[in-house]
Structure 1
Amino acid sequence: MPHLRRRALNTVPLAKAYTGRANSFGFLRLCFAFAVVLAHAAVLGFTQPLTNRFDVPGLAVAGFFGISGFLITRSARRSTLPRYLWHRALRILPGLWGCLLVTGLVLAPSLWYLKHHTLDGLWRSNGGVVDYLRNNWWGGMRQGGILDLLLDTPYGQFTHVALVNGSLWTLSYEIACYLIVAALAALMVLHRARLLVLLSGVLVFGVLVWNHFEQLRFGHAPLWTEGLFGPFPLLGSFAKAWFLWYGFMFLMGAAAELYSDRLPINDLLGVASLAVLAGFVVNGGLFGPGLLFYEYTILWLAVRLPRALHRVGRTNDYSYGVYIYAFPVQQTMAKFGVTVLGLWGFFAVTAAAAFACAYASWHLVEKPALRWRNWTPRSLREPEPGRGEPNPAGSEEGQPEPSRTGPSTSTPAPAPADQTPVASPELAGR
């Protein structure tokens, strides 16, 4: 008891409590991914929400953004702008492209052939596979389905919408946040004017508070909650409400990283924040002031959960793959009647299948792609001492160049081939 009392009263800054490997961000990301799978199991398999009290997948995705805001800002502060953009592209695009190709070139032809006994009309028809790949290739989900495939699922019959992978819509919001951080880094805001980020967070929090009370008084939130803005090249349009909520979580994560030397981590504060968050969730008001407590709870859990959980996601991060593959897996299994197992049976089978896809995606696509994180274009490479050419004759072709963008003057060696390329949560991002 004295030990627990001392720990509860002990306060340390986040910068001291957090280390690159000794944290539970990987575990939390995986929990959020499977929470989305569970919520979608109810919707896709049985056309009903998991609970009417709160939005489970929305809550989980907001958690993703809260973690990303912290880790991505940390990455941007430690890298040059080109290196930061390269790392972000490597982390999100190869996995997405793999998922799109599997969906468009394997799943769609299989389902189409079973239905029509031919592949004619699948590829270049309006809304076919080619359109699906082109419209979604850069992260903006501008086409949700492929012709009428999966319209005969429980979800398709209920909504009359043929939807192949509805989870991809959040990627454009995350990419937009990455680009905003890139702009702040280019303007030196992250290094020299971090107060602007904090003030922006205070301003957005004020909007959330105002909307919350207006919702309670009049049943309507007036500020930035209706309609779309955009479209933007490649990414499409954004729903104002989701951009406000997810953007605030990302912004709070960024502010927490920038002020990690002053943000107190305390178990009493953590428990109190969790209790306030639970109150907002139970009363259906999470997407408002409750998001601030949600962000603190995530950061507190990341550094306070048992050390055994620190290993989850440290070398193999399957959360992204689970998230992007689960939806088509669940739609397909619902089509073929796996829902006969009931909600929890359907969830168990589809979660296992999604994890198998995530495992393959990580080891065959995402992890090999991340080995290129230290690659530098030939024109930008520095000549080795005593050699006039940037790429001296006799060097091993394909060997990635060491990074020269970190805060240290030393040059880190490339990761050996038998080691994971995710040396820190900052690179994992999601």
Structure 2
Amino acid sequence: MPLPLYLLAMAVFAMGTSEFMLAGLLPDIASDLDVTVGTAGLLTSAFAIGMIVGAPLVAALSRNWPRRSGLLGFVLVFATAHAVGAVTTSFPVLFTTRIVAALANAGFLAVALTAAAALVPPDRKGRALAVLLSGTTVATVAGVPGGAVLGTLLGWRATFWAVAALCLPAALGILRGIPEGREKGKATGGPVLRAELAQLARPRLALVMVLGALVNAATFGSFTFLAPVVTDTAGLGELWISVVLVLFGAGSFVGVTVAGRLSDQRPGSVIAIGGPLLLVGWPALAVLADEPAALFALVFVQGALSFALGSTLITRVLYEAAGAPTMAGSYATAALNVGAAVGPLVAATTLTTAAGNLGPLWVSGLLVAITLLIAFPLRTVVAAGRSAEALRQDVRTPW
């Protein structure tokens, strides 16, 4: 894999740390800003909503920008938003900074996904995506738990400052490692943009975007509210939140790495095996969450399965959006973050029910069940292998 791909992953690490870090900080943020944990959880949804709106919007606005300048600008805006968030005492202001940071993240990721796919041969998009997403999974292994520890020791604001600082070496890496200039083949005409947007009407693309969003909703629905499961349900101390986040992150790294080797040629195998296991895992975690050993094991497994299945479906989005070369990354980003927005919103409604802290885990199981019910009758579409390239050669990969 080319070096610039790893430099992009470095920036994704900083942004992934921010996107996931709230899972370990929500109780402290809620207490400091005098809001409920459920309300504080809306910060995750705010970030996701900004990503949903920002991905296609910012990608469309920046599609003719020089690639390096665009990526650098997005990283610097992202850092500034975190610096403002670190000093505010107002929840609405913090909420706003999360939206601004999300817009910057969306623009960066939309460009980076398209750039990553362009850096490798057409049939290796899955591996390129795995390298790029490794920045997110490493964030869950190191960045997010480190942020949780920093937040426990120095307060949640220190974590926001740390994320802003992480953006600086990422910006330097982009400046030195990404060539200036526009993407090869990048279109400048309005009619071409309209043609790319018209790709969204294709049923195959819409299907894999919906499935990717559902799986990510299940992932974020539970991940966002893991902290109270650890401290209240399992009865462990606050520092154990970091341990659980490390286990989830380690699992996600394993999952996205394995899926990266399979999602180009055998996406159906990942979905057929990983889907049912993921479906069983969320209810199992809800039932066994009061047993620390089971909690630790299942969090690792669910992290692996969630990211294996989710990254495979997002790879399918890139293939199915091959007819939208400058907008494909934004479609993949939007699919990821529709789930990230909906998941915590739905999960938060269960916190005040009889299910309590375990409600989000049951919601995740339900979302995966819906995913599989939709996917099964359309399995030949979801598991089509290298899609755009393969379809032109009449290749069909069995479920």
Query: TM-score scaled by structure 1?
Result: 0.25
Query: TM-score scaled by structure 2?
Result: 0.26
Pair member with larger Rg? 1
